[in-house]
Amino acid sequence: MLAINRIVSNTLEKYHKERLSFAQTIAELAQRETYVSTLQSHNVLPLLRPLLLDNIPAIQQAAALAIGRLANHSEELAEAVVDSDILPHLIFSLKNQNRFYKTAAAFVLRTVAKHSAKLANSVVESGALTSLVQCLEEFDPGVKESAAWALGYIAKHNEELAKAVVDAGALPLLILCIQEPELSLRKISISALSDIAKHSSELAHNIVDTNALFFLTQLIHNSDPKLLRQVCSCLCQIAKHNIALAEEVVDREIFPRVLYCLKNNDIYVRKNAASLICEISKHSADLAQIIVNAGGIASILDYIDNSTGNAKLPGIMTIGYISVFSDTLAFSVLLAKPIPILLKILNEKNISDESVLSASVWALGQMGRHSPEHAKILTDHGVLHILLKLYQNYSNDKDEILDLKAKIKKTLKWIIENTLNVESLEPLLSLETPLSILKPTIEQLSKIIPNDITVRRDFVTSGSLKTLQEVAQKFISKDSNNPSYHSKLAENILIINNCYPEEIVKYYSPGYSEILLSRIDEYMQQTNAINA
């Protein structure tokens, strides 16, 4: 009898070991991308599915880990996990199993949900939210972290899914998690709050109403860069929606501490802090003034100058937003000498992201649009000529290029309308200049030249009057039946021409030298005829 028991016991033990070995081996192979397609072709998921309900916890955990790693590789495999009816097994076991299995099960739910809103919705419909929220109440920080991660991946896709996470009661527990001592749990929980807040002001208000800002703004003093990344990102997602939320964030006295984050050694801390300041600055003049009073302009300009590529964008947008609200704020920006930094960006050969160029052009426009004094600071740096050259360098029809060219035209128009110095406008007066830029240039010249005798003379000696006549010949029809004959351009050219004697205008008109030569020929013929 003892021998029979031993044989049966050994057989069962071998069966248990083989199941565990199988699950562990698949989990190990699933970590390597080269094996995943082969595992998929051998339809391994149905073999792992029954192991989730195994009576040995180690086998359950290994099977869940293997499924999670497979689902993590691609949306196709994640869909296969859903189609294999694995989620109900996970959620059923999630309520009663040990902390290791709960961590592995939450990992599977996260890897499925991360790929798309459709898959995340499948996780929600399977009833996972209730179990995941309950996991946030566990004692073990690893279980909490895995659950918070899964909730964040569900919430990130759209407002509806984020609202489902909130309605499941996740917010108060996530707030408790960010008060825990474990840095990784804090980081993941804040990331989940950020994924919820980004969708709408209503969701952001829900987070604020749970007193999250008190704890989040305290963590901005933390020295851990990965935690700081998430704190700045979450505050940014809250502040971006409206002025009330932005004021809530600012009232927590984040300045000047957030400005120190712009000099952090971690590139993502710097970028997220710049994004937070940008989202605050856009709402009102009062918020922009707070940034200015804290010394924010100098910090932002230093950030722009020491960043590369797309990371410059939030800093550039910030100085543009501050300049929008009033001439005083725009002057505060100009006094900090941003123009050389922005022109350096416009002159860089290796800028591949047109959005950075567009933002730089837009920011220059916001600074120069307020008054002639503002515009003069820009024109003294040759901004008009540089913008025209940039406009002429781009010719394709990509949406990004079209947006850039539209911003250049608008910025040029704003600066031109406030420029009182003819010498600054003359570089734009060229046959190579697009008509859309020539029109406001000539219109502004028609306002300046009639009122200044010295300027009139200089306009002739510089060759600009001659160029003006060439422009008239190229763009203005001589046919009185043509609508362009009565165009605004023609009127403005006529205003300028009327400032000079008719003989001077004729002299500088194209073809006038040929007319003079023909008159000489006629005179010589008449003289020869008389002498004969």
- In a domain? residue 156: no
The least confident of 9-18, 141-150, 189-198, 399-408 is: 9-18
Give the model's pLDDT for residue 480.
47
- In a domain? residue 407: no
Peptide bond into 340 cis (omega under 30): no
- pLDDT-derived band at 352, boundaries 50, 70, 90: low
Average pLDDT estimate for 165-181: 94
Which residue, 267, 293, 312, sits at the end of a domain?
312
Measuring CA to CA, which residue among 323, 342, 343, 339 is closest to residue 331?
A: 323
Give the model's pLDDT for residue 102.
86
If one counts the domains in the chain, the total is 2
What percent of the chain is modeled with pLDDT above 90? 52
DSSP letters spanning 356-423: HHHHHHHHHHHHHSS-HHHHHHHHTTTHHHHHHHHHHH-----HHHHHHHHHHHHHHHHHHHT---HH
- Whether the predicted pLDDT of 452 surpasses 70: yes
Question: What rounded mean pLDDT belongs to the chain?
Answer: 87
- In a domain? residue 259: yes
- pLDDT-derived band at 324, boundaries 50, 70, 90: very high
Give the model's pLDDT for residue 519.
55
- pLDDT-derived band at 188, boundaries 50, 70, 90: very high
- Whether the predicted pLDDT of 308 surpasses 60: yes
Which residue, 312, 331, 366, sits at the end of a domain?
312
- In a domain? residue 118: no
| Per-residue pLDDT tens digits for 40-75 | 778 888 888 888 877 788 888 888 888 888 888 888
- pLDDT-derived band at 408, boundaries 50, 70, 90: very high
Q: How far apart are the first and last CA of the chain?
A: 153
| Per-residue pLDDT tens digits for 479-528 | 445 545 548 888 899 899 888 888 888 887 776 655 555 555 555 556 65
- In a domain? residue 470: yes
| Per-residue pLDDT tens digits for 80-111 | 888 888 888 788 777 666 788 888 888 889 99
- In a domain? residue 531: yes
- In a domain? residue 521: yes
Whole-number Å distance between alpha carbons of 79 and 259: 44
DSSP letters spanning 153-185: HHHTS-HHHHHHHHHTTHHHHHHHHTTSS-HHH
Whole-number Å distance between alpha carbons of 446 and 180: 69
Give the model's pLDDT for residue 120.
93
Domain that holds residue 495: 440-532
- In a domain? residue 495: yes
Give the model's pLDDT for residue 195.
95
- pLDDT-derived band at 401, boundaries 50, 70, 90: confident
Measuring CA to CA, which residue among 464, 363, 451 is closest to residue 415?
A: 363
Which residue, 312, 329, 349, sits at the end of a domain?
312
Average pLDDT estimate for 220-236: 93
- pLDDT-derived band at 276, boundaries 50, 70, 90: very high
Instruction: Select the more confidently predicted residue: 161 or 9.
Output: 161
- Whether the predicted pLDDT of 114 surpasses 50: yes
